[in-house]
Amino acid sequence: MTTNEAAREADWRRATELIRSAGTVALACHVSPDGDALGSMLGLGLALARTGKKVVASFGDRVFAVPRLLRFLPGQSLLVEPSAYPAEPDLMITFDASTMERLGLLAPHAGKAGELVVIDHHVSNTRFGTVHLVDPGAASTTMVVDELVNRLGLPIDREVATCLYAGLVTDTGSFRHSITTPAAHAMAGRLLATGLRPEEIARELWDRSPFAYLRVLGTALGRATLEPDAVGGLGLVWTSVTRADRAAEGLPYDEVEGMIDVVRRVDEAEVAVVLKEDDEGGWNVSTRSKGAVDVARACAALGGGGHSRAAGFSSALSVADTMAALRPLLAPEGSRS
Ligand code: AMP
Ligand code: MN
Ligand code: MN
């Protein structure tokens, strides 16, 4: 065993010991949770709650609401508002958060936790806890949780499996992205064997919207811009969706989170960007690359982060100024000076 493997094994042992001996476990995932963040948290939460432990789970958004498309996930009764979260938890576990800041309002709680177990799969994870289960080779955080649940010897029933599967299909783009490993498919096979309904999960995650979404999508796509000369000549496509666009149709912010999946299909662009204005006037920026550009690096330079082909950041600047800051950072690998 190499030193690294030994250190990783020590982390696994420490994490399982801490969880086994805890009476109460406080769970937190990153703000504006996606299927991987919420699925990994609720999956472990449900598995632990069934052993008789007290489990509280939350995320630190100022306005606390589960995104509409994730309300089908089992285990929602474990959720508490950040205001009801323990101020100094004995044992706190974080999910899919690469930095302490990604915990939003719950970052101070993490800072005061007796033990902080960080469960994640971002290469950029800053190892901000006391114990780290961080596997950049894992397609989703739910893959790390799957191993943890197995090491704890806890059963994975259909509800736990639904949570874990939701994270797996979210982060692999339904097994389409390059991160789709044999291990990801093997895990999916084990989860499917519990009787979960893949077609129902897919429909909840991707195949339903209020009519208002079509209207707002039309507006946003109508102002999409193709810049063939950007990204070292490989092309950039981008658009924005404002709170005024959404207000005109009565569409909540979380409904536009996935708009990047439409924009990124453009053949003429290596990089796709969607700027999404939230209800407070701040901007959340989604970036995607096809492989020639490391968008995680570009987003990290602007205070965000993510994966090499899917990353994001927040911006308080105007759309034009945000794009002016981002554009020069989108250089293809190898062309950077
Ligand atoms: P999104 O475009 O919101 O789907 O985000 C894509 C990926 O970028 C996520 O999986 C996160 O890892 C990362 N990400 C998005 N926003 C941020 C942010 N503000 N800070 C750090 N990472 C982010
Ligand atoms: Mn995530
Ligand atoms: Mn993830």
Q: Which residue, 331, 336, 301, is CA-closest to 236?
A: 331
Q: Whose CA is nearest to atom 22 of ligand 1?
A: 305
For 255-299, what is each residue's pLDDT tens digit?
999 999 999 999 999 999 999 999 999 999 999 999 999 999 999
pTM of the model: 0.96
Q: Whose CA is nearest to atom 10 of ligand 1?
A: 306
Question: Between 245 and 337, where is the model more confident?
Answer: 245
Average pLDDT, the chain: 97
Pocket test for ligand 1, best of 96, 103, 307, 309 (most atoms within 8 A of CB): 307
What residues does 116 pair with on adjacent strands?
A: 92
Give the nearest ligand 1 atom to 260 CA: 2
Q: Whose CA is nearest to atom 15 of ligand 1?
A: 312
Q: What residue type is assigned to position 287 of the chain?
A: T
Q: What are phi and psi of 236, to 5 degrees?
A: -135, 135
Give the whole-number percent of the chain exceeding pLDDT 70.
99
For 72-115, what is each residue's pLDDT tens digit?
999 999 999 999 999 999 999 999 999 999 999 999 999 999 99
Q: Is the dihedral of CA 86, 92, 96, 97 positive or negative?
A: positive
For 328-337, what is each residue's pLDDT tens digit?
999 998 775 4
Q: What are phi and psi of 115, to 5 degrees?
A: -130, 140
Q: Which residue, 302, 214, 303, 309, is CA-closest to 255?
A: 214
